[in-house]
Structure 1
Amino acid sequence: MRAHARDGEARGWAAPGRWRLAVFALFCFLASALVAGFIGFALSLERAESTLTVQADGVVVLTGGSDRVYEAGGLLARGQARRLLITGVNRATRGHEIAKLLPVSRELFECCVDLGYRARDTIGNARETRDWAHAHGIGAGSLIVVTSNYHMPRALAELSAALPGAELYPFVVVSDHLRVEDWLGDFAVTRLIAAEYVKYLYVLLRTRLLEPGLSATALASAGAAAVPAER
């Protein structure tokens, strides 16, 4: 009787132990996958600026630095696109201030540069770009996307969800003040890239699993009452 009782107690303790071991193993696997994914993400970031020769229907630049805006203006000036959208412009910034940053003539600025003031984050940039692209008949066309190297993966993921029929060409702008190749030795760079990696994973989760119809439904309804981009 006592032996049977001891065997029962042992089996009772063994089952929770196996569960704890399984949970621990799963945690280790997920942690390893996240670390490996982060390393792959950091190594995949472009170290040098893009040299695109492609012709596209439009250029969109996600604000965050004057160098991005300047490079986007250069693409328009070289005739590599018909129109330029600068999305996420500060509401206190006027058109003539932006014009000073662009290597384009006043005539080209007046005819072919649009300023978007609505966006406050990357998903807002995607919505603003979608509305602008459809308004100018390039929703299923081609777009050159201009932003920083560490921000490009998330920007492309959001824009791909917002404009599933568009062909997107990344144009990476590399900052003189941030070297992504230093991610292993510079804590500030590591923290920035890690934060961007987490945001990127969230975008993939949201657009591919939680909201797979985002581009056709949720984004469309969210932007239905949006004001057209201001100049």
Structure 2
Amino acid sequence: MAAGARQAGMAPVGFKGVAGIAALTGLAIGALLFAAGYVWFALSLSRVEPRLTVRAEGIVVFTGGSDRVQEAAELLARGQAKRMLITGVNRGTRSSVLARLLPVSHKLFDCCVDLGYQAQDTIGNARETREWARTRNISHSLIVVTSNYHMPRALAELSAELPDMTLHPFPVVSDHVNVDGWASDAGVIRLVGGEYLKYLGALARITLRQNENSPDLTGLRPEPASP
């Protein structure tokens, strides 16, 4: 075969050559899958805010934009939940300042709005929400308020921390981040791309943790049937 290849003017392909071709092919396929996943992620983001009619036990809003907190407060004011957690509040922010800014009465704010100061990132937001839900005896349903591009990762982290909780997403659409025209805006491309990478990282970490915590049944054998 090698002689035939030489006669045809072609050099024989050795093992290293085949391995190199396979590696390049794998990289090309991986790049295509990553690009396709990114496009799917960008197209899946909400373009308009939903009209939620559901009534939940609580509302959790992830800080990161004033629009998020305003929208969450309006849901609370409409009576769509009993309590609200603002998670990831800056430690220098006083509750009295927030009370003046939000579209809720002082009475409603004082009785039903909780501020979480511990979370520093989305993982922390989810854990802070879990502890708050346990403290407030919220066990069935939550309305989740955050930006549309952040919602997939927020839901993934919350689902991992509160697997039995029904989550109702309220993705906030900001005028400053036009995901509808993501393909023509370099800033939005970078923002959505960064969020997509974080989302993939969150899914990988959550999956690994779940696999580590699952019971090892490989050493178990079924008991023999009784005669």
Q: Which bracket does the TM-score occupy, shorter chain normalised?
A: 0.7 to 0.9
> Which digits, 9 at most, give the CA deviation of each residue in 1:110-142, with x for residues without a partner?
11100000011000100100000011111x310
Percent sequence identity over aligned pairs: 58
Indicate how the Cα distance of structure 1 residues 135 and 53 shifts in structure 2: closer, same or farther if over 3 A, else same: same
Q: Aligned equivalents of 1:76 and 1:214: distance in 2?
A: 38
Correspondence 1:58-137 to 2 at 5 A? 58-137=58-137
Could you tell me which residue of structure 1 aligns to residue 49 of structure 2? Answer: 49
Indicate how the Cα distance of structure 1 residues 189 and 18 shifts in structure 2: closer, same or farther if over 3 A, else same: same
Could you tell me which residue of structure 1 aligns to residue 210 of structure 2? Answer: 212
Indicate how the Cα distance of structure 1 residues 111 and 215 shifts in structure 2: closer, same or farther if over 3 A, else same: farther
Return the TM-score normalized by structure 2: 0.87
Give the secondary structure class of the aligned counterpart of 2:163. coil
Could you tell me which residue of structure 2 aligns to residue 222 of structure 1? Answer: none
Indicate how the Cα distance of structure 1 residues 83 and 214 shifts in structure 2: closer, same or farther if over 3 A, else same: farther
Deviation at 1:172, TM superposition (A): 1.1
Higher relative contact order (CA 8 A, sep 6+): 1
Return the TM-score normalized by structure 1: 0.85
Deviation at 1:148, TM superposition (A): 0.4
Indicate how the Cα distance of structure 1 residues 215 and 71 shifts in structure 2: closer, same or farther if over 3 A, else same: farther
Q: Which runs of 5+ in 1 are unaligned?
A: 217-231
- Specify the structure having the higher radius of gyration (Cα): 2
Q: Aligned equivalents of 1:168 and 1:213: distance in 2?
A: 23
Equivalent residue pairs, number? 207
Q: Aligned equivalents of 2:175 and 2:46: distance in 1?
A: 13
2:153 is equivalent to residue 160 of structure 1 = no
Q: Aligned equivalents of 2:197 and 2:127: distance in 1?
A: 21
Could you tell me which residue of structure 1 aligns to residue 188 of structure 2? Answer: 189
Contact 1:161 1:215 in 2 (8 A): no
Indicate how the Cα distance of structure 1 residues 112 and 179 shifts in structure 2: closer, same or farther if over 3 A, else same: same
Q: Aligned equivalents of 1:199 and 1:12: distance in 2?
A: 44
Q: Aligned equivalents of 1:119 and 1:163: distance in 2?
A: 16
Q: Aligned equivalents of 2:212 and 2:118: distance in 1?
A: 19
2:24 is equivalent to residue 24 of structure 1 = yes
Contact 1:59 1:85 in 2 (8 A): yes
> Which digits, 9 at most, give the CA deviation of each residue in 1:47-95, with x for residues without a partner?
1112100000000000111111111111111110010000000000000
Q: Where has structure 1 moved over 2 Å in runs of 4 or more?
A: 10-13, 213-216
Q: Aligned equivalents of 1:97 and 1:160: distance in 2?
A: 31
Indicate how the Cα distance of structure 1 residues 213 and 135 shifts in structure 2: closer, same or farther if over 3 A, else same: farther
Deviation at 1:214, TM superposition (A): 8.4
